[in-house]
Structure 1
Amino acid sequence: MRRSLTRWTKRLILVLAVVAATLFVVRVVDSQRGPPLELWHTFVPEDLQADAIDKLDWNGWMAAEARLFDQVRREVTDRLDDEERRADNRYFAGSPINPSHFEQDWNRSYVMEPDGAPRGAVVLLHGLTDAPYSLRHVARQYRAQGFVAIGLRIPAHGTVPAALTDTVWEDWLAATRLAVREARRRIGPQQPLHVVGFSNGGALAMKYALDAIENPSLPRPDRLVLISPMIGITAFARFAGLAALPAILPSFAKAAWLSRVPEFIPFKYNSFPVNGARQSHRLTVSLQAQLQRMAQAGQLATLAPVQTFQSVLDFTVSTRAVISALYNLLPTNGSELVLFDRNQNTRLGPMLRPATDLLLDRIVPPAPRNWRLSIIANTGPDSADMVERVTPAGETTESVKPLPGMAYPRDVFSLSHVALPFPPGDSLYGIEPNPAEEFGVSLGAVAARGEVGVLVLSPASLLRISWNPFYGFLMERVGAGIP
């Protein structure tokens, strides 16, 4: 019997080895396709790491950031080959999308001061591959209501995509601590402190808030606003690190990348390295474990209220995880979840997967709940009228409030992960770009038609909505929570 088990064990090991070798070869072959690596894929700038960040104040951070961007200019922009000096390359100094041409480079950290003495402070944390640009509209809302707004550039962002090949999420969290320290320094110990996080920044905001409960030396936020927060992501990210294994050999350096796309957006990376997905997965695993542990110990009782805005349909983060791994663990502390359902009145209805009609019922637990649930939806199938369906915390009865003037455009079937923080008038991502600001390209207003294989970007990226038709509603709800 023992010999038989040993024989089968050896066979299993052999089969697994063959499978692993086959997958390795397939990954090697697949990674060699596509364009060659460019300077922005190979040059890794010297961004700060956690130990150094924890020793800095805000002035030191800004000085280091200035040196970092100077380094990128010298090592990338000034060294481009002639064929790389094109209008569609953000790193070409003569390109209309090069950020140096704009009145403000939104790739960099910023501080917005209110008129008069600040009544509070907010720290804004952008998403993965993103830049401080993505939350600038939210920052302006806070500033208009008397808050000083600190938009943080997360380490390894805003420069070149290669920076994400050599970073860990602990660096991102250290920068979050730095920004919150600066926010508290500017307003003193008594005034309210808020933290706003978008996507990966939402995970960082939650992680910081939990750490501040366990570590009394960290300033505690009084409110958390999460937009499409990355509480959980797809299972693929769990194994993303394996996809980069061939890159250990210099000849297969392309394997370190999940995608390599021309960099034609001034405030976001298009190319995406494997390590970016791996670090986001590591962050969400740590966050979920901490939430579970603290909930079981009763430590979430002092957590600040959490207000979250989330599309029911989200291809990047798990909407189900936002509820199951976060909201179902929250105490009754004034938290709220706002869900944007898909459009039931779209002319594309016959082309949508039937499962999307049932998703909302599958992910939302039955009432009563410890948190307020607000669902933005059509009044019914084939109706353009929108309502807000509200179930207060601790109650089972849902009330319905009409939302006059709010509607999905007929050709929009849902929101997307990236759309929520951008108004229709956003100059880069909006469908009606604000002419007062110009960033060289208006992606949200593009309605491309033509043959496949011609564009430098995937047609799927043009199909994905990049602006929020309900942005005014979102900002009204955010503003209502600003004292």
Structure 2
Amino acid sequence: MNMPNWVRRLPRRIVLLGATLVVALLALRVWDIRQGPQLAPWHLVVPEELRAAEIDAADWTGYLTAEAAAFATVRTEVTAALEPADHIPANRYFAGSPLHPALFARDWNRSFVMEPEGEARGAVVLLHGLTDSPYSLRHIANLYRQRGWIAIGIRLPAHGTVPAALTRVTWEDWLAATRLAMREARARVRPDMPLHLIGFSNGGALALKYALDAVEHGTTAAPDRLVLISPMIGITAFARFAGLTALPALLPRFAKAAWLGIVPEFIPFKYNSFPVNGARQSHRLTMELQGQMRRLAAPGRLAALPPILTFQSVVDFTVSTRAVITALYDQLPLQGSELVLFDINRNAKIGPLLTTATETVLDRLLPPATRAWRSVVVTNAGPQHAEVVERAIEAGATEEQVRPIGLAWPRAVYSLSHVALPFPVTDGLYGLEPDAEEDFGVQLGAIAPRGERGVLAIAPDALLRLSSNPFFPYLAERIGQAIAAEAVLPARSAVR
């Protein structure tokens, strides 16, 4: 075998040391996976779904037909085939569980279309996040519907069914589904009507990628505005090497190596288990996205992007808040974009418990004014105030404008989280104060895991992360302003 020259030049001892380290890490990985839980049917059954080329050739009806077939596979090969040991209330795939999505009035794992009363005034496409489902953006979809817009929430390939589906999907499949949904949205309204594209987390990366492709290659379904919520513009360096952890899975005996987490599935509209391929595809997508941003920034073509409104928590365990600024906003010219950052709770009663790095995170994130985009920080009115204010600096300005927004931090909540932003506190599943009219089998956001060990069927730390947004009314207000602004502007696709 011919080795590259740079390898030949390395001292033999270093090469041997590196090879030994790789073997040791793989051995450690093999040992680790053999200690963990066994794979269940929902980790093994992969429903057949359309791939990118097939999606590009399909229409909305064809996509829904394929989606229905995937759910039928889950019913017959997972739910109907469960072993008695899996017939437990905490398993969403057990037909007798109160968490089983088929029991609800509506299964929000599936693609949906919300129609307004009367003639539509515009259309919006909503893209959920990785391991998530269309459920996560249903509240925002309803905001658009109430304002007379058609809202299309597409279930991205490999989501909503079983986590095993994520072991074979690619980000190109997700982007093809985005293109299909945008074609459908454009076809449902007049050419002069506005078209918005909303993305949450990994869906935010897809929304931006679609908009960049529209600039670079053109389309008749160009978005007039992007709304990004906790967008996955950059993720941790671990994802770059996640594929290596799956190497033992090439041998059937070590199939569990294809998974970064094998966890009970107790959430009706989201996977808990996470395969290596999910991390790998997100990393591939963000690398492609950042490269395209740089490629289009050099000749000034990013000026053709639609205005972008982004909502992001300054602390985010899943995506890089810094990348949202450096890889996206710092590349934008003056074109009407805005970044809204939700600060940590700086109430003095919690402050002494914060890490030093967290306490100074905001100062390290924002570049000095002036900026080519409007910046907003939602933060405490003062060090001993739970009430929050909006601190805004207009694009090209340095003076800060402060506005009370009539909202406050709930008691004992010290920050938002990656997953919380698109959910109001009244959400029936994730809300701190869930709507009594909704029943999804469990109220995850309202559970305060305080009690004795060994009582809960799931790990208590899975319930500690904030899952709803006490500032959702502000987010809804700002999106409402973006919708209202379209009433006086022609659609971008109609202008081209």
Same fold (TM over 0.5): yes
Q: Does 1:437 align with 2:444?
A: no
Q: Does 1:407 align with 2:408?
A: yes
Distance 1:141 1:250 in 2: 48
Q: Give the direction of change, closer, same or farther, for the CA distance of 1:218–1:11 in structure 2 (3 Å limit).
A: farther
Q: Does 1:186 align with 2:156?
A: no
Q: Does 1:232 align with 2:224?
A: no
Corresponding residue of 2:450: 449
Point out where structure 2 has 5 or more consecutive residues left out of the alignment: 1-6, 485-496
Please give the TM-score of this superposition, normalised by the length of structure 1. Answer: 0.97
Q: Give the direction of change, closer, same or farther, for the CA distance of 1:187–1:213 in structure 2 (3 Å limit).
A: same
Corresponding residue of 2:144: 142
The residue type paired with residue 181 of structure 1 is: R
Distance 2:314 2:357 in 1: 12
CA offset at residue 131 of structure 1? Answer: 0.2
CA contact (8 A) 2:339 2:373 kept: yes
For the residue of structure 2 that corresponds to 1:14, the secondary structure is helix
CA contact (8 A) 1:423 1:467 kept: yes
CA offset at residue 384 of structure 1? Answer: 2.0
Matched ranges for 1:36-435 at <5 A: 36-345=38-347, 347-404=349-406, 406-435=407-436
CA contact (8 A) 1:32 1:255 kept: no
Q: Give the direction of change, closer, same or farther, for the CA distance of 1:346–1:64 in structure 2 (3 Å limit).
A: farther
> Greater shift after overlay, 78-87 or 346-355?
346-355
> Greater shift after overlay, 8-17 or 336-345?
8-17
Q: Cα deviations across residues 171-195 of structure 1 (Å, max 9, x unaligned)?
A: 0000000000000000131100000
The residue type paired with residue 205 of structure 1 is: A
Q: Give the direction of change, closer, same or farther, for the CA distance of 1:136–1:346 in structure 2 (3 Å limit).
A: farther
Q: Cα deviations across residues 38-97 of structure 1 (Å, max 9, x unaligned)?
A: 000011111111011000000111111111111111110110011111111111111111
Distance 1:103 1:410 in 2: 33
The residue type paired with residue 478 of structure 2 is: R
CA contact (8 A) 1:379 1:387 kept: yes
The residue type paired with residue 409 of structure 2 is: Y
Q: Give the direction of change, closer, same or farther, for the CA distance of 1:15–1:478 in structure 2 (3 Å limit).
A: same
CA contact (8 A) 2:90 2:457 kept: no
> Greater shift after overlay, 6-15 or 65-74?
6-15
Distance 1:11 1:259 in 2: 35
For the residue of structure 2 that corresponds to 1:403, the secondary structure is strand
CA offset at residue 134 of structure 1? Answer: 0.2
For the residue of structure 2 that corresponds to 1:390, the secondary structure is strand
Q: Give the direction of change, closer, same or farther, for the CA distance of 1:385–1:14 in structure 2 (3 Å limit).
A: same
The residue type paired with residue 167 of structure 1 is: V
CA offset at residue 398 of structure 1? Answer: 0.8
CA contact (8 A) 2:231 2:319 kept: yes
Q: Cα deviations across residues 461-483 of structure 1 (Å, max 9, x unaligned)?
A: 22110010000011000011103
Q: Cα deviations across residues 333-358 of structure 1 (Å, max 9, x unaligned)?
A: 11110000000116333222011121
CA contact (8 A) 1:347 1:411 kept: no
CA contact (8 A) 1:346 1:411 kept: no
CA contact (8 A) 2:55 2:63 kept: yes
For the residue of structure 1 that corresponds to 2:319, the secondary structure is coil
CA contact (8 A) 1:346 1:410 kept: no
CA contact (8 A) 1:261 1:456 kept: no
For the residue of structure 2 that corresponds to 1:402, the secondary structure is strand
Distance 1:243 1:233 in 2: 17
Q: Cα deviations across residues 186-229 of structure 1 (Å, max 9, x unaligned)?
A: 01311000001000000000000000111223511000000000
Distance 2:343 2:461 in 1: 21
Number of aligned residue pairs:
478
Distance 1:62 1:106 in 2: 14
Q: Give the direction of change, closer, same or farther, for the CA distance of 1:302–1:15 in structure 2 (3 Å limit).
A: same
For the residue of structure 2 that corresponds to 1:11, the secondary structure is helix
Distance 1:6 1:423 in 2: 59
Distance 1:56 1:8 in 2: 52
For the residue of structure 2 that corresponds to 1:400, the secondary structure is strand
Point out where structure 1 has 5 or more consecutive residues left out of the alignment: none
Distance 1:60 1:129 in 2: 23
Q: Give the direction of change, closer, same or farther, for the CA distance of 1:346–1:248 in structure 2 (3 Å limit).
A: farther
For the residue of structure 1 that corresponds to 2:113, the secondary structure is strand
CA RMSD of aligned residues (A): 1.3
Q: Give the direction of change, closer, same or farther, for the CA distance of 1:81–1:346 in structure 2 (3 Å limit).
A: farther
Distance 2:348 2:135 in 1: 30
Q: Give the direction of change, closer, same or farther, for the CA distance of 1:417–1:445 in structure 2 (3 Å limit).
A: same
Distance 2:144 2:98 in 1: 30
Q: Give the direction of change, closer, same or farther, for the CA distance of 1:163–1:346 in structure 2 (3 Å limit).
A: farther
Corresponding residue of 1:464: 465
Query: Which consecutive aligned stretches of 4+ in structure 1 deviate over 4 angstroms post-superposition?
Result: 5-8
